[in-house]
Amino acid sequence: MPIQLWLSSRVPTKVRISLPRSGDFLGQFNLAPRKTLIVSVPEALMNKISGISDNGIYIQSEQPITATVYMSYRWSGEAFKIIPKEQLGRIYYTLNLYQDRTDRERVGQILITATTDNTKVAVTPKVDLDDGTRGGQTKVYTLQRGQTLLLKAKIKPGFDQDFETTDLTGTKIVATAPVSVISGHTKGAFPRYQPTMGTPANFMRNMLIESMWPVEFL
């Protein structure tokens, strides 16, 4: 399986993993303290095609846990923490990267998951999307609980590693109810040009809601 959930807790607890849209279960597990439980996720739940899908996964536990996603797919790997539902919000800005190239063009992506039925999500992309939305224009999508929305930058041949025309960074997302936003890139290299050419990798992170952005760093 190319995707795994890594779950851990300080105390014994039970964890239930389900698919809200279908009602199916990935399983119910007994989580031992200070141990990592690895749960494989079927590749069928991977979001590959732009648009709305029923691919959301719901994790619920009796005691506090940590949850991490690990992905190893086509010679690239990545891991990121899952932000708990209590810390999700309605306003986000994304972090992506310019279009890059391996065997073909690779673009930035954004994945939005709804926690509530009939959630309206207004997206204002920084550059054109492959669903026809133009950069700077706002499009509204309606999501049900557990549905996902995958957005991809439009492929622009000849504009590899061009920040101005192919980078989704700064895309604004405003929802009527809390959503999660995972933002990243299919496979890109940074910094641009040599020596990174030929050694790109994918990356993804949960975005923090706007109100949680800090103002001081050490």
- How high is the pLDDT of residue 210? 59
Q: Residue 199 above 60 pLDDT? A: no
Per-domain boundaries in the chain:
3-210
Q: Residue 193 above 60 pLDDT? A: no
d(CA 130, CA 50): 8
Q: Residue 9 above 80 pLDDT? A: yes
The structure's pTM equals 0.87
- Given pLDDT bands bounded at 50, 70 and 90, which one contains residue 145? very high
Strands (E) in the chain, as ranges, are 3-8, 13-18, 25-31, 37-41, 51-53, 58-61, 66-73, 76-81, 89-93, 100-101, 105-106, 108-114, 119-124, 139-143, 148-152, 172-188, 201-206
| HSE (side-chain half, CA atoms, 13 Å) at 146 | 14
- Given pLDDT bands bounded at 50, 70 and 90, which one contains residue 77? confident
What share of residues in the chain are helix, strand, coil (percent, to 5)? 5, 45, 45
- Given pLDDT bands bounded at 50, 70 and 90, which one contains residue 80? confident
Please indicate whether residue 208 or residue 175 has the higher confidence score (pLDDT): 175
